[in-house]
Amino acid sequence: MTEKMGGCMCGAVRFTARDVPTKFGACHCEMCRRWTGSALLGVTVPEGNVSWDDETHLKRITSSHWAERGFCDQCGSGMFFRVTMQGEWSGNLEFPIGVFDDPNGFEMSNEIYIDHKPDSFAYAGEGRTVLTRADCVAKFGVLDEGA
């Protein structure tokens, strides 16, 4: 785990994240695909480990009854996904690894919604956890209404 800095495309939103894990996951659900244009390749950081330089241009949108997404209101860059519903998964920010100034040093550990992945691509490598939508609903009960 290390400290990493990052920000949006235009630089209006900047942050420092402490104790950033080296493991990240890919989410292939429809919302993440539409938000990122592909899969969300995200690393989970506790919200308390993130310091924002200036939150003036950081905006949030409720993306489901249990989550929100943060973005820059100047350039539109997606900054994070956050579970808002109280429970085991709340209190974390899921940062796309591309928002870090140095996106190197990460290792993919899981893929979720694998049955929603477009058939035109696949990630190389082995040994990661792979979950279908049904697996995700069973594991993260909050997902029982849509994705």
* Digitized pLDDT (tens) for each residue of the chain, 147 residues in all: 689 999 999 999 999 999 999 999 999 999 999 999 999 999 999 999 999 999 999 999 999 888 999 999 999 999 999 989 887 778 899 999 999 999 999 999 999 999 999 999 889 888 899 999 999 888 876 555 544
Residues whose CB falls within 8 Å of the CB of residue 108, separated by 6 or more in sequence, listed in order = 23, 24, 25, 26, 41, 123, 125, 128
**CATH-assigned architecture of domain 2-144:** Alpha-Beta Complex (3.90)
> Domain boundaries in the chain?
2-144
Q: 95: which strand partners?
A: 43
Q: Contact 25/109 with Cβ under 8 angstroms?
A: yes
Predicted model pTM: 0.90
